[in-house]
Amino acid sequence: MKTNKLFKAWGLFLILIALVFNACSDSHKEKKDALEVIKQRGVLKVGVFSDKPPFGSVDSKGKYQGYDVVIAKRIVLDLLGDENKIEFIPVEASARVEFLKANKVDVIMANFTCTKEREAVVDFAKPYMKVALGVISKDGAIKNIEELKDKELIVNKGTTADFYFTKNYPHIKLLKFEQNTETFLALLKDKAIALAHDNTLLLAWAKQHPEFKLGITNLGDKDVIAPAIKKGNPKLLEWLNNEIDSLISSGFLKEAYQETLAPIYGDGIKPEEIIFE
C-alpha cells in the first residue's frame, strides 16, 4: 500500500517536472526574436493593403503593386536575398494591430501612420513616408472643419482620420467603412458630403476624379508612415531601422517614388513632400 502511494507520489512529481520543463521550453520559444524566425522560415510575411492604389493594391493579374509593395520587396531582398521570398497578406486598416499580435504577419507595410496610441501596442521602425490628414469633397466645397457641422463625414474604420475626428470633433457624425473601395464609393454616391483620409491617398484619388478636390489639404499634426512589428523583437526592429536608413541614403526611396507615385502626382508635388531623402 505504501509502495503504491510512493509510486503515485513520484509519478505526480515527474509529471510536474515535465510540465515545468515544457513551460520553460515554450517560454524560450516565445522569446525567440522574429528576425531569427523569419530567417529560419525563409519567407517574410508582410501585411499590405489590397485596395489602396498607388500604395498597395492588386492588379488584374493578381499581383500586388504600389509604393509600399516595392519597398517591401526590397526589404525582403536585403533580408533573405530574394525578393520573391515574400508572402503578401491583405489587411484592413482596423485589423493591422491584431494581425501583428496574432503573428499573422511579421511586418505591416500598409500605410501605417505612427501615433502615440499605436506606439503603445506595436513597435514602429524608422519612417519612410510623410503624411497628414486631408478632407476631400465635390469641388472642394468643404474648406474648414466648421463647415462639417451637422453633416456626415466618411472615414475608414481604425484609421488616423477615424481616431482624429472621434477625439477632437465628437459632434461630427462619422460614416465608417472597413475597405477603401467602400469608402470612396460612398463619396461617389453622395452618402456624405466629404471624406477624410491621408492626404497622400486623396491627392492620388483626386487625379482620377477631378470633380473632387481637397478643400482641406493639411489637418492636425504632420505625421509619418513606417513599418510596424510586434512588440518584443529588438533584433528585427534594429535590422529594419538600419534598412530604412540604407534605403534613404542609397536613393532607393526616391526610385520607388518615381516608379509608383510620380506618374500619379505629376509635377505638382515634389518628392521631398512625400518621402525622406
Per-residue model confidence as pLDDT tens digits over 99-142:
999 999 999 999 999 999 999 999 999 999 999 999 999 999 99
* Residue 57 main-chain phi, psi, to 5 deg: -155, 170
Q: Which residue has the higher pLDDT, 268 or 189?
A: 189
**Residue 27: predicted pLDDT:** 46
Share of the chain above pLDDT 90, in %: 84
Q: What is the pLDDT of residues 227-244, one digit of tens each?
A: 999 999 999 999 999 999
Provide the 8-state DSSP code for 125.
-
Q: In which element (H, E) is residue 234 found?
A: helix 234-249
**Residue 16: predicted pLDDT:** 56
Which CATH architecture is the domain 34-128+226-273 placed in? Answer: 3-Layer(aba) Sandwich (3.40)
Tell me the domain boundaries of the chain.
34-128+226-273, 132-223
Residues near 171 by beta carbon (within 8 Å), at least 6 away in sequence: 149
Share of the chain above pLDDT 70, in %: 89
Across 242-258, average pLDDT: 98
Confidence band of 269 (pLDDT split at 50, 70, 90): confident
State the distance between the two ends of the chain, measured CA to CA, in whole angstroms. 80
**Residue 267: predicted pLDDT:** 87
**Residue 35: predicted pLDDT:** 98
**Residue 221: predicted pLDDT:** 84
* Residue 97 predicted with pLDDT over 80: yes
Q: Tell me whether residue 199 is exposed, middle or buried, using C-beta atoms within 10 angstroms of its C-beta: 0 to 12, 13 to 18, 19 or more.
A: buried
**Residue 93 Cα distances to 1, 50, 99, angstroms:** 65, 11, 10
Across 156-172, average pLDDT: 95
> Is 34-128+226-273's fold the same as 132-223's?
yes
In CATH, the number for domain 132-223 is 3.40.190.10
* Residue 28 predicted with pLDDT over 50: no
Confidence band of 20 (pLDDT split at 50, 70, 90): low
- pTM for this entry: 0.82
Confidence band of 201 (pLDDT split at 50, 70, 90): very high
Q: How many residues does the chain have?
A: 277
What does pLDDT average to over the chain?
Answer: 92
What the block records as the C-alpha cell of 10 is: 513520484
Please count the other Cβ atoms lying within 10 Å of the Cβ belonging to residue 151.
Answer: 13
Residues near 53 by beta carbon (within 8 Å), at least 6 away in sequence: 65, 66, 204
Q: Tell me whether residue 158 is exposed, middle or buried, using C-beta atoms within 10 angstroms of its C-beta: 0 to 12, 13 to 18, 19 or more.
A: middle
Is the CB of residue 156 less than 8 Å from the CB of residue 96? no
